[in-house]
Structure 1
Amino acid sequence: MERVEFRQMKDGTREEYLFLDRLEEEFNQGLVDRLLRALRNLENSLSGYQVSRLEHSLQSAARAEADGADEDMIVGALLHDLGDELAPYNHSQLAATIIRPYVRGEVTWIIHHHGLFQKYYYAHYFGENPNERDRYLNHPWYQSCVDFCERYDQASFDPSYPTPSLEHFEPILRRVFSRTPFDSKVIGEEHPLEL
């Protein structure tokens, strides 16, 4: 079989769905390669900063690594702005959706909310509330998100910071994304990803 016969999903046969499942499994084996390409594309993304979006992402991950963060957090830091090009107004949520099946719930929650928490540093310049993040003040991962933004995200626009290459992080990406998706032993406790 080269392709299915059905034109509506409700008309598909077991054989067709098994065939599609095999193709999907093969396609999913290339996920890390697609993520690496998407990260490389950040080199030519949003301008105006002293570093490219790729350099910012690499610096964020390097700072997490230097801080002794685990691989989940390093991957979160590396991919936290991956959604900038396709979802400029909800890039945090897009990045969180990508990592969610593979990392612990805390990291997904942090990445999902980092865009709002980052506003602490600049929202007042636009007449907005820089403390809007405080609506999550009683959330168990509030401080973790504050720390992520302070240590890794907002600090990573420095052209003089010794930043490793993307290839340095490739083995970590491959390990994390080789996990069984949504393995409860990995993702652990999840909290609603409300906006």
Structure 2
Amino acid sequence: MATVVAESLRSGGDSTADRVLCLLESLRHVRLGLPVNQLDHALQTAARAETAGAPEEMIVAALCHDLGKAISGHNHGAIAAEILRPFVSAGAYAILRHHEEFRYVDYPRWTGVDPRARLRFRDEPWYRAAVVFADEWDRGALDPDVRTPPLDYYSPLVRTVLSRPGSGIGSDRHFREAR
């Protein structure tokens, strides 16, 4: 049985990309009182990453950063990070995992979150990239007048990045480096 599963994964039988694209599409119906739905927010964030010349995995990370909101608003970054964990670098995983904390600077103190929460990561090698992610890509991606490429435009990139099992933090090499 293990051989069948391994062969299925090697041959592209794992439909992770299809499921991720379906979850992204479901974000079209999640608005959260914002001027755009969560799919449009994801597309705007990915477009900003692409315009900035980000690597493929970071464009996909930007597209999928709020993917967890298809399930729950709480801890949505961790949900998205775990879905992409086997396919992205340790840095991209960490940025996804902690992007909510990097956005706390935007929330008033009365919400009970520490607006300086991101500073606990300031010595991490991915800290500067996470600041760019949060402040330049994620923060302003709520404009109802911005036109972005549709989800279909990003589908091949999602399929490419999510077809690299073992290349991300889920591999033994990256797991050892992350510790």
- TM-score w.r.t. the length of structure 2 is 0.87
- The secondary structure found in structure 2 opposite 1:101 is helix
Output the CA distance in 1 between the equivalents of 2:173 and 2:18: 22
The aligned counterpart of 2:22 is 37
Matches within 5 A, 1:1-195: 16-19=1-4, 28-182=13-167, 190-192=177-179
2:56–2:157 CA contact under 8 A, matched in 1: yes
Output the CA distance in 1 between the equivalents of 2:12 and 2:92: 26
Is the radius of gyration larger for structure 1 or structure 2? 1
Output the CA distance in 2 between the equivalents of 1:190 and 1:84: 29
- TM-score w.r.t. the length of structure 1 is 0.80
| CA offsets 1:126-167 (integer angstroms, 9 cap, x no match) | 243211111112222112111100111111001112211001
Give percent identity, aligned residues only: 36
Give unpaired runs (5+ residues) of structure 2: none
Give unpaired runs (5+ residues) of structure 1: 1-15
Which residue identity lines up with residue 124 of structure 1 in the other structure? R
1:114–1:149 CA contact under 8 A, matched in 2: yes
RMSD value over aligned CA atoms? Answer: 2.5
The aligned counterpart of 1:6 is none
Report the count of equivalent residues.
Answer: 177
Output the CA distance in 2 between the equivalents of 1:191 and 1:44: 35
More displaced stretch, 23-32 vs 54-63: 23-32
- The secondary structure found in structure 2 opposite 1:159 is coil
Indicate how the Cα distance of structure 1 residues 160 and 92 shifts in structure 2: closer, same or farther if over 3 A, else same: same
Output the CA distance in 2 between the equivalents of 1:136 and 1:49: 28
Indicate how the Cα distance of structure 1 residues 179 and 135 shifts in structure 2: closer, same or farther if over 3 A, else same: same
Which consecutive segments of 4 or more residues in structure 1 shift more than 2 A? 16-29, 180-192
More displaced stretch, 110-119 vs 176-185: 176-185
